[in-house]
Amino acid sequence: MKITIIQPDIAWEDKKANLNHMQNLLENIPADTHLVILPEMFTTGFSMSTEALAETPFSQTNTWMTSLAGKLNLGICGSLIVKENNSYYNRFFFVSPNDKSAFYDKRHLFSIGGEDKKFIRGNTRAIFQYSGFRINPVICYDLRFPVWTRNRNDYDLLICVANWPESRREVWRTLLKARAIENQCFVAGVNRVGTDPEGNSYAGDSMVINPKGQVIASIPEYQEGIASTEISLQELEDFRAKFPVWKDADDFEIL
């Protein structure tokens, strides 16, 4: 499967500008891309203005994603602010070219930034299948919690979409590699660049990592851009068979 990661600057709380910008960036992706990954809250930036910015499920942004997925014959994913049953969620959406979809609500809300005051946390992992891969999506702060992302032999690719600040960029890069190594999986971490009115700067550091912790695709820091790479399910299965760490893993339950 060929995946393409997109590292954009995000216009603050301007959905129209961001959707237009993402569409322009998508024009430059390889024609044989199977899956495109956009950052966390790619239509708004990491805003707590939930009342003004939230969408109902399967509305404006989801319609845009569905249209592009069909037009370009690929899967597309990223997170946005969603209102459902009078509650707000930081929701990861995935849409396939045949109009199949999946979603995941962020479990670990960034309480330091007040996200827990505005959003309801999700309580379930949402592993879905696409192009032969079992995919586990997480959002930004989730990356810090290895129990939540622990591979129980149930996924092959971990996707983390983020608005991860420059001040903690070394943590971001280290955790992405750690999650790949400990879970024997591919990891795609997609972040933004630029600044926001909250005083945060973003370096990007978007990358794809193989199960050995090696970076196999990346986008230059502080720059908008795209990067593509092939990931092989056979390569992953061969590695797991040759070095079956998963057989010695501890059993546990998530409450």
CA distance 10 to 193: 8
Active site residue 140: yes
Out of 140, 160, 177, 185, the active site residue is 140
Nearest to 132 by CA among 172, 205, 184, 186: 186
Out of 55, 77, 106, 177, the active site residue is 106
CB atoms within 10 A of CB 207: 23
**Which residues are 83's β-sheet partners?**
88
Q: What angle do CA 49, 43, 58 make, to 5 degrees?
A: 95
Residues 6+ apart with CB under 8 A from 27: none
* Secondary structure (DSSP) of 138-201: EEGGGGG-HHHH---S--SEEEEE----GGGHHHHHHHHHHHHHHHTSEEEEE--EEE-TTS-E
What is the H or E stretch that residue 116 is in?
Answer: helix 115-118
Out of 15, 40, 55, 185, the active site residue is 40
Active centre residues (catalytic): 40, 106, 140
